[in-house]
């Protein structure tokens, strides 16, 4: 594996001389360019930091004015070893002499086994030698990068080597081009200043972001931390050791195994990078949540991790914010789940597709479904709506979506376990940018309320003893029928007034309880003779009225005789024995010129009076 260390990462490395010192070098170990050139030494240090290697030096090249160039600081042993490697590379390279030399691992690359005995003095495993070319194409030498660990150069790093080589070559331009050299050195100084400024800004950005950098030698167990890393936990420069074992002691005990397992997985190549969130003990004893990310930057020939570089960021505030948010979400969820009913979010796409992205636990009671069953499609709910109410359900949602008016609907559902139930829905819509409509609202069970309303309606319209329509409700129905008759001239309708004969004597002889049974018995007889649209009601005492829809006078008389026959053939069976009943009936048709229901009722009452006066158990028409 390869990585390009940033200047901030390279800053973790211990200071390394730009060239390797040695003994027995020619000219007292110094040849070529002026000894101790500050600018050249600065370039070497910058190159070492930029590429994250242990050392950078210059390899001697062409002879100019009788002197070897660019041998500054290269001792004889190191120089000879590097030159041997360069000569072998030139012989085998398709580019010929002056080709770049890159050896990722001297110890494992078979191509270099033959020369290992001649370069045994070289204490490095990674070598890169980049040619330096003068303005006239003459070979000035090579810029060398050295590191004791194997590594690879990326395309970006190779391009950077070209840039460094160009700058160094410009510094060594022959003396007959002094003015050009002076300008080049000026440009080089500016470039170096720019590089240093970018490095300074990068370091400031890293420090300002609350991020620390660490560099771990996997083989020795040494781990070095940046100043910002130590300050992040409240430690001074000299209060943190470089032992990996000490770093484990700062980890929260509950996080130690997780961190070690995650790092080991990355060492073994099971993950592309190392990333964990864990707690580290600060100097004051408190713990901070830290997000650590890293990557192995060097491996040996067998793939074992050698070096790992990474960053640590304080994420304590984000973790605390996330925890508060999670607690808020849990609170809202718990509240909505405890509310009797369904708290929901309903989404309707422009094409009409409907779903419930959020549904509280109340959906199990309201629809006998789970939130997951409606999260992406509301078809399961549609299937439960009563067939008589499904059109109203769909129309109400469509209207609310079109007008953005609040949605309100009372409707019935048929559930597998609960059976027929009433539901009431209320929600407010919002239009989204994609054209969809989203409702947030509440659906509750109103079955009991609807039952009570039905009972109240029945109490308001029904006679409590006979369960027939009471006088007020019957008169309203009669009045409505008259309005329809005046407007359309049809249908024909007739009104019958019925009175149980000798009812007072029944109460006197058998008691009021039997009298009440007689009234209920007669009401049942009337119900059995009603058809669709007919209405029977108790007008008062033992008087009853029947509105026969679609019947003329002759038809009404036929119904009246059937009632008399039925009551005669089915006497009341009381505890005291059979109670014979007879009924007198007055019949009249509804007329267009009847000004009110009271007029029609009075006319039928006249007919009833005639029937009673004529001997009872009779039918009279008016």
By annotation, the residues acting in catalysis are 542
The strand ranges marked E within 200-304 are 211-217, 222-225, 274-281, 287-299
* 65 secondary structure, DSSP code: T
> From the DSSP assignment, how many helices (H) and strands (E) are in the chain?
19, 23
Distance CA 205, CA 312 (A): 14
Distance CA 52, CA 209 (A): 23
Going edge to edge, which strands form the sheet with 222-225? 222-225, 211-217, 305-314, 287-299, 274-281
Q: In sequence order, what are the residues at sequence separation of 6 or more whose Cβ sits closer than 8 angstroms to the Cβ of residue 266?
A: 273, 274, 294, 295, 296, 305, 308
Rounded-to-10 torsion of CA 300, 304, 310, 313:
180
Q: Does residue 377 contact residue 349 with C-beta atoms inside 8 Å?
A: no
Q: Which of 89, 41, 75, 87 is nearest to 192 (CA)?
A: 41
Rg (CA), the chain: 52
Cα 419 to chain center, whole Å?
35
Distance CA(538)–CA(475), nearest Å, equals 11
* Cα–Cα distance list, 550 to 219, 482, 488, 489, 554 (Å): 105, 13, 13, 12, 12
SS3 content of the chain, % helix, strand, coil (to 5): 45, 25, 30
**Positive or negative: CA dihedral 84, 86, 89, 91:** negative
Structure tokens of 90?
């030139």
Please list, in sequence order, all residues whose beta carbon lies within 8 angstroms of the beta carbon of residue 421, skipping any fewer than 6 positions away: 412, 413, 414, 415, 445, 447
The SS3 call for residue 462 is strand
End-to-end CA separation in angstroms for the chain: 113
């Amino acid at each position: 594996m390869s990585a390009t260390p940033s200047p901030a990462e390279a800053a973790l490395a211990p200071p390394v001389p730009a060239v390797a010192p040695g003994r027995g070098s020619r000219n007292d170990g110094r040849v070529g360019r002026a000894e101790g050139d500050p600018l050249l030494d600065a370039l070497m240090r910058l190159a070492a930091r930029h590429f994250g290697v242990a050392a950078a030096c210059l390899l001697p090249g062409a002879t100019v004015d009788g002197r070897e160039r660019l041998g500054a600081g290269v001792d004889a042993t190191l120089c000879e070893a590097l030159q041997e490697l360069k000569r072998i590379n030139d012989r085998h390279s398709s580019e010929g002499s002056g080709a770049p030399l890159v050896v990722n691992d001297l110890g494992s690359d078979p191509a270099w086994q033959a020369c290992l005995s001649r370069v045994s003095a070289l204490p490095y495993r990674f070598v890169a030698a980049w040619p330096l070319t003068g303005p006239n194409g003459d070979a000035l030498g090579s810029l060398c990068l050295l590191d004791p660990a194997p590594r690879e150069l990326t395309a970006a790093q190779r391009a950077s080597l070209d840039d460094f080589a160009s700058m160094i070559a410009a510094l060594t331009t022959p003396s007959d081009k002094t003015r050009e050299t002076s300008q080049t050195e000026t440009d080089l100084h500016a470039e170096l200043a720019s590089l240093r400024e970018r490095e300074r800004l990068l370091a400031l950005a890293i420090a300002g972001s609350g991020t620390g950098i660490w560099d771990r030698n996997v083989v020795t167990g040494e781990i070095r931390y940046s100043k910002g890393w130590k300050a992040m936990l409240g430690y001074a420069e000299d209060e943190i050791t470089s032992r990996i074992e000490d770093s484990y002691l700062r980890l929260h005990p509950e996080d130690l195994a997780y961190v070690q397992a995650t790092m080991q997985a990355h060492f073994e190549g099971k993950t592309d990078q190392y990333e964990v969130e864990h707690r580290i003990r600060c100097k004051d004893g408190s713990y901070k949540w830290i997000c650590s990310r890293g990557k192995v930057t060097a491996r040996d020939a067998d793939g074992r991790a050698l070096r790992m570089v990474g960053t640590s960021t304080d994420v304590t505030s984000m973790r605390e914010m996330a925890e508060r948010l999670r607690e808020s979400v849990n609170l809202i969820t718990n509240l909505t789940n405890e509310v009797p009913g369904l708290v929901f979010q309903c989404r309707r796409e422009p094409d009409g597709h409907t779903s419930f992205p959020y549904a509280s636990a109340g959906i199990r009671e309201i629809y006998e479904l789970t939130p997951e069953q409606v999260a992406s499609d509301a078809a399961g709910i549609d299937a439960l709506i009563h067939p008589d109410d499904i059109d109203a359900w769909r129309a109400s949602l469509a209207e609310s979506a079109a007008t953005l008016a609040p949605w309100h609907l009372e409707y019935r559902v048929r559930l597998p376990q609960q059976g027929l139930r009433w539901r009431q829905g209320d929600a407010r819509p919002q239009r989204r940018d994609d054209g969809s409509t989203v409702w947030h609202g509440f659906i509750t069970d109103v079955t009991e309320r609807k039952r009570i309303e039905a009972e109240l309606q029945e109490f308001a319209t029904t006679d409590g003893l006979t369960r027939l329509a009471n006088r007020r409700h019957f008169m309203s129905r009669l009045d409505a029928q008259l309005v329809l008759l005046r407007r359309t001239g049809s249908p024909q309708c007739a009104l019958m007034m019925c009175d149980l004969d000798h009812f007072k004597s029944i109460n006197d002889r058998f008691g009021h309880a039997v009298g009440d049974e007689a009234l209920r018995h007669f009401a049942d007889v009337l119900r059995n003779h009603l058809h669709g649209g007919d209405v029977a009601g108790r007008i008062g005492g033992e008087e009853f009225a029947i509105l026969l829809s679609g019947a003329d006078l002759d038809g009404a008389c036929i119904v009246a005789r059937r009632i008399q026959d039925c009551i005669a053939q089915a006497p009341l069976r009381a505890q005291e024995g059979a109670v014979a009943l007879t009924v007198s009936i007055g019949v009249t048709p509804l007329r267009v010129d009847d000004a009110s229901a009271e007029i029609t009722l009075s006319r039928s009452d006249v007919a009833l009076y005639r029937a009673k006066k004529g001997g009872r158990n009779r039918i009279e028409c008016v």
